[in-house]
Structure 1
């Protein structure tokens, strides 16, 4: 993944939280140097809150979310 261009991560609605599988991927990504990589977050049903939570995680990795 460090050689990837833009990265987009999405999640379905899951009790107002990020599903475990997506959390696992985000956790694995933290071991990579992804600083400055363009990224996007999206969620289903728009208002359930997953996309902003994912975007926060991407920003913590210093990605351009």
Structure 2
């Protein structure tokens, strides 16, 4: 339900008004866990790294990117 709502609203958000261009305001996933947010794995790239109340939406990392031989 939340994912569909965020997907509908995403085209109307102006990135400049939502966040600053610098990367200093981006928290690592461990910081979100410390803040009590639950990490939700999603296939939807439109909501990657979006946090909504107590949930952080992340697109999964393909296994081949974690393979040293690749």
Give the alignment's TM-score, normalised by structure 2. 0.27
Give the alignment's TM-score, normalised by structure 1. 0.28
Structure having the higher Rg: 2
Bigger relative contact order (CA 8 A; separation at least 6) = 1
More helix by share: 2
